[in-house]
Amino acid sequence: MSQVTVEISPDALVTELAVQAGAQVARAGTPEDAVDSVVPMAVVEPTTAEAVARVVGWASQAGRSLVVRGGGTKLSWGASPTSVDVLLRTTGLHAVEAHRHGDLTATVQAGATLAQTNAVLAAHHQWLPLDPPGGAEATIGGIVATNDSGPRRQHHGVPRDLIIGMTLARADGVISRSGGIVVKNVAGYDLARLLTGSFGCLGVILNATFKLAPLAEASRTVAVEFPASDRFSAFAAALVDRASTPSALELAFPPATMLVRFESVESVAVAQAEEAMSLARAHGGTPTVLIGHDESAVWQKHEARIFAEDGTVLRLSVLPSELTSTLAWLDETATAQQLDYVVAGRAGLTALSVRLNGEIASQVKLIRELRERFPSGRGSAVIRRAEPALTSHVDVWGPVGDALPMMQAVKQQFDPVGILNPGRGPGAL
Amino acid sequence: MDSEFLVELERIVGTAGVVHDETELITYESDGLVSHAQRPGVAVLPETVEQVQGVVRLCHESTVPFVARGQGTGLSAGALPHPDGVLIVMTRMNRIVDVDIPNQRIIVEPGVMNLDVTKRVASLGYYYAPDPSSQSICSIGGNLAENSGGAHCLKYGFTVHHVLGVEAVLPNGELIHLGGTAVDSPGLDLLGVVVGSEGTLLVVTKVILRLLRRPESVRTLLAAFDSTDAAGNAVSDVIAAGIIPAAIEMMDRTTIRAAEAAVQPGFPDAEAVLIVELDGPANEVSTLFEQIEAISAKNHGWGVQVARDDAQRARIWMGRKAAFAAMGRVAPSYYVQDGVIPRSTLPEVLRRIRELEQRSGLTIGNVFHAGDGNLHPLVCYDDAVKGQAELAEQVASEILSYCLDVGGSLTGEHGIGADKACHMPKMFSDDDLATMQLVRVAFDPRGLCNPDKVFPTPRLCGEVPGPYRAHPAELAGGAERL
């Protein structure tokens, strides 16, 4: 699809970007700007939405490939680019544009970090209830573009569930809006949801509007050690059966650990934690209840299990009924292939992350066999982070099913020249 | 319709599945919005996905427009037939395909009624969350097309939050699967844009829904207030206290009286009543319920009724859900819109509606999902009085403009359909609408799938009058404008 053919010098490119966005915000690319070790020719960090739109429109006309970067926490996700002409940084657009606390909504520019956003919203005891890994540096645009989330997905969902409106710069440089600022709205197509999780391949997100949640008054976390991972499923099911409402329900292995968080008013958090403790004991676990600093520490440690160390990271989505067998298969196969692995993630939703370390060839074999276990629509294993040595042997996304041609048709409509994050969108769009 | 085309249709769905008798077609000329009526060229009632594919493929090859219709309860003429097209009636595809409690999933065909999903799993302790007021008579396919909500969407979200996947027929007749039974599926979120696309992108043939565990405890409070402003302040205080109830509904004096006349729910005769429902773990519900009672008292709520059991709760909800139908007791006809406003602007918008009521002379009842700002102004009129129907439509349109003035939306749950397509440019710019059309063109390049809905067209809305420009013939002296 890409028509990026005509040669251009980095200096000439910077000059063009300076014309579109201003001389102060355009410069040549450096190794620090690399996208999966590919250094962009030029970097631009516009300070207005209109300047972003001009840059993108120009890139379409000139046939220049463009990768969008926010905090850079997820820049290595997806396939490696073959070349990058322009790295467009959204960090020049970092305002919390509106916090309508009486309506529990906020509009935030793409380049604002989640941490910065939530610091503003906290003034009215509210927050954007997302807790993806790297949330201190991750920007709203990046979180939305990857539909990334964390443990609180159990209760609050993913960006797709919270987004109610979006302004975007189309590939042809036109600014367009969909949705709005009200939480209930079925007027027109929901382009905000289409763009959520599109990995920057359909347009550049300028701002997004979300519904918010009140900050909980109290929190308790029950950490449970189990003798083996085959207890996870029954314990999670028992919590569901008791109509328990944890804000997070996580598993990790090895060692076999579960974390259950309750956030509500004090008396309720305490009571629900106590009930979870007794359920955990009934399922052969050893529970501890954590509050305050200890509680924060256990969650930091949990987040670090996957991303704090090098290695391939997979996102695994399976049916709850297949959790135990999938974990058993993973353990058996990784052991046989002499791979180290760690698994952690949403036990209640069976959306997990797996970190693999070891021989690339063995990892490739494991990923292929894992994907073969899932009939279409009944599970997936997407590569989040990996060395180019691995992604050159195995597709990042895996089977996308019979919807791929329609995804390509949508991409063709939104980005006919193929400049936006070429080859790196979902399904290699 | 062309007789060869009809023969082909009968070959696909059988003679019993094709309706082309002019009288029989009257059944299908409207959906729930009867002010729009149009007999379809022909109606078909497929029973299998292969038949749906066959019909759509035939339409594609013959360049014939088609419209899918479920139970026809929609309120925006979204299922209004095309005069030269095929109406695909999905009501015979009403099987529950699979119930999977361990995974909290159910797979249904689009003709299954919303409430039947819950009925199927209720004894197992589960339910399907979206609960539009019409849930006993509306089908899942229509819910998906309109992204239906309901009274409890404040806490639980809309159809889009509860649909995990679909099987569907594309406008060229090909089968496509979006999403799946697992929570995440790789690829673009086409499902996210298909839900709520009002049947303009594809025809859904199977739906994977998420089931929820019944909450341990539910408590419902009804309180009366001396003004809608006071009731609105109570709602604000609930939100400010950090409480997200399962539902907050408000009714004004007109709709309270209508409901009372129709179903006698025992509501106080007040300027406004609020219904607040909490659900969740028992200890959480009882703790937060005390706060709700205190907020009600602080805002001078009176006549408080607390539902202690299912029967009492059902009575309160009956009063609320009957409000629309009950308006027949106060007026021969009414025109309803469902504009949305930022909840905090409720007092301002209600004041403008009251002024409009006085100015127009038409009674306007208000019943709304107060938690999410979704209004349902019921503009009463009498068809027998010449010009009143048109006046009611103008009044309803003006209320929509109030919603847009405060940053709201044309519709919270009824959809745009044919009814409000001409209003879309008031809410979205030409560029916004053109961007949405990119999706339409990708799915339906020939524009055959439920045409003339959602987007304004010259045929529907007339040419937008621009400044006068002389025709070249006039300039050349060959014509003149009389």
Q: Is B450 left (phi over 0), alpha (psi -120 to 50) or beta?
A: left
CB B165 within 8 A of CB B177: yes
Q: What is the predicted pLDDT for the residue at A377? A: 85
Q: What is the predicted pLDDT for the residue at A4? A: 47
Quick one: what percent of chain A has pLDDT higher than 90? 90
- The predicted model scores a pTM of 0.95
Are residues B377 and B402 located together in one domain of the fold?
Answer: yes
List pLDDT tens digits, range B314-339.
Answer: 999 999 988 877 888 878 888 888 99
Beta strand residue intervals within B230-310, DSSP E: 247-252, 272-280, 302-307
DSSP state of B83: T
Which residues of chain A neighbour B192 with C-beta distances below 8 Å?
Answer: 160, 190, 193-194, 196
In chain B, the number of structural domains is 4
Residue of B nearest to A190 (CA): B193
**H-type alpha helices, A107-261:** 114-121, 140-146, 153-156, 159-162, 191-195, 232-241
> Contact A427/B186, CB-based, under 8 Å?
yes
Residue at B462 is within a domain: no
Are residues B229 and B195 located together in one domain of the fold?
Answer: no
> Contact B342/A267, CB-based, under 8 Å?
no
Which residues of chain A neighbour B125 with C-beta distances below 8 Å?
Answer: 241
List pLDDT tens digits, range A314-332.
Answer: 999 999 999 999 999 999 9
Cis peptide leading into residue B46 (ω within 30°): no
- In which band, very low, low, confident or very high, does the pLDDT at A81 lie, cut at 50, 70 and 90? confident
Residue at B338 is within a domain: yes
Are residues B29 and B84 located together in one domain of the fold?
Answer: yes
Closest of B179, B240, B185 to residue B206, by C-alpha:
B179
> Contact B373/A184, CB-based, under 8 Å?
yes
CB B93 within 8 A of CB B44: no
Q: Which of B197, B213, B229 is the last residue of a domain?
A: B213
CB A93 within 8 A of CB A111: yes
Report d(CA B448, CA B56) in Å as an integer.
Answer: 10
CB A211 within 8 A of CB A104: yes
Closest of A98, A108, A153 to residue A130, by C-alpha:
A153
* Chain A interface disruption, residue of B201, B243, B438, B450, most A CBs within 10 A: B438
Is the CB of B446 inside 8 Å of chain A's CB atoms?
Answer: no
* C-alpha distances in Å from residue B73, one per residue of A82, A320, B134, B258: 52, 35, 7, 22
The domain in which residue B72 lies consists of 3-89
Are residues B282 and B378 located together in one domain of the fold?
Answer: no
- In which band, very low, low, confident or very high, does the pLDDT at B468 lie, cut at 50, 70 and 90? very low
| Angstroms from A128 CA to nearest CA on chain B | 14
CATH of the domain at B130: 3.30.465.10
DSSP state of B421: G
Cα(first)–Cα(last) distance of chain A, in Å?
Answer: 9
Q: What is the predicted pLDDT for the residue at B240? A: 87
Are residues B45 and B100 located together in one domain of the fold?
Answer: no
> Contact A272/B197, CB-based, under 8 Å?
no
- B286 vs B469 pLDDT, higher one: B286
Report d(CA B264, CA B326) in Å as an integer.
Answer: 10
Residue at B457 is within a domain: no
Is the CB of B317 inside 8 Å of chain A's CB atoms?
Answer: no
Residue at B75 is within a domain: yes
Are residues B100 and B205 located together in one domain of the fold?
Answer: yes
CB B339 within 8 A of CB B401: no
**H-type alpha helices, A63-170:** 114-121, 140-146, 153-156, 159-162
Q: What is the predicted pLDDT for the residue at B469? A: 44
List pLDDT tens digits, range A120-149.
Answer: 999 999 999 999 999 889 999 999 999 999
What value does the mean pLDDT take over residues B298-311?
Answer: 93
Are residues B194 and B114 located together in one domain of the fold?
Answer: yes
Q: Which of B162, B194, B213 is the last residue of a domain?
A: B213
CATH of the domain at B418: 3.30.70.2740
Are residues B208 and B183 located together in one domain of the fold?
Answer: yes
CATH of the domain at B319: 3.30.70.2190
Interface confidence, given as ipTM, is: 0.96
List pLDDT tens digits, range B246-282.
Answer: 999 999 999 999 999 988 999 999 999 999 999 999 9
Q: Torsion over CA of B20, B22, B25 and B31, rounded to 10 degrees?
A: 140
Pick the range with the lowest mean pLDDT from A340-344, B61-65, B461-465: B461-465
Residue at B461 is within a domain: no
Is the CB of B97 inside 8 Å of chain A's CB atoms?
Answer: no
| Angstroms from B163 CA to nearest CA on chain A | 12
Q: What is the predicted pLDDT for the residue at B350? A: 92
Residue at B445 is within a domain: no
Q: What is the predicted pLDDT for the residue at B478? A: 41
Are residues B289 and B345 located together in one domain of the fold?
Answer: no
Quick one: what percent of chain B has pLDDT higher than 90? 82
List pLDDT tens digits, range B72-127.
Answer: 999 999 999 999 999 999 999 999 999 999 999 999 999 999 999 999 999 999 99
Are residues B155 and B111 located together in one domain of the fold?
Answer: yes
Domains of chain A: 10-90+414-428 (3.30.43.10), 96-214 (3.30.465.10), 218-304 (3.30.70.3450), 309-391 (3.30.70.330)
Q: Which one-letter amino acid corresponds to residue B294?
A: A
CB contact residues (below 8 A), chain B span 161-220, against chain A: 161, 165, 170, 174-190, 192-193, 195-197, 213-216
Q: What is the predicted pLDDT for the residue at B309? A: 87
Q: Is the pLDDT of residue A359 over 70?
A: yes
Q: Is the pLDDT of residue B472 over 60?
A: no
Pick the range with the lowest mean pLDDT from A256-265, A390-399, B457-466: B457-466
Are residues B343 and B377 located together in one domain of the fold?
Answer: yes
> Contact A185/B409, CB-based, under 8 Å?
yes
Q: Kindly report the number of other CB atoms within 10 A of residue A267's CB atom.
A: 14
Positive or negative torsion for Cα A99, A105, A106, A107:
negative
Q: Which one-letter amino acid corresponds to residue B304?
A: V
List pLDDT tens digits, range B138-168.
Answer: 999 999 999 999 888 999 999 999 999 999 9
CATH of the domain at B29: 3.30.43.10
Report d(CA B6, CA B12) in Å as an integer.
Answer: 10
Is the CB of B242 inside 8 Å of chain A's CB atoms?
Answer: yes
Q: What is the predicted pLDDT for the residue at A5? A: 54
Residue at B396 is within a domain: yes
What value does the mean pLDDT take over residues A387-415?
Answer: 95
List pLDDT tens digits, range B23-68.
Answer: 999 999 999 988 899 999 999 999 999 999 999 999 999 999 999 9
Residue at B450 is within a domain: no
Q: What is the predicted pLDDT for the residue at B463? A: 57
Report d(CA B112, CA A207) in Å as an integer.
Answer: 38
Residue A177, CB half-sphere, CA atoms under 13 Å: how many?
15
Are residues B219 and B136 located together in one domain of the fold?
Answer: no
Residue of B nearest to A323 (CA): B103
Residue of A nearest to B282 (CA): A268
Q: What is the predicted pLDDT for the residue at B467? A: 40
Closest of A251, A319, A317 to residue A283, by C-alpha:
A251
Is the CB of B373 inside 8 Å of chain A's CB atoms?
Answer: yes
Q: Which of B330, B345, B376 is the last residue of a domain?
A: B330
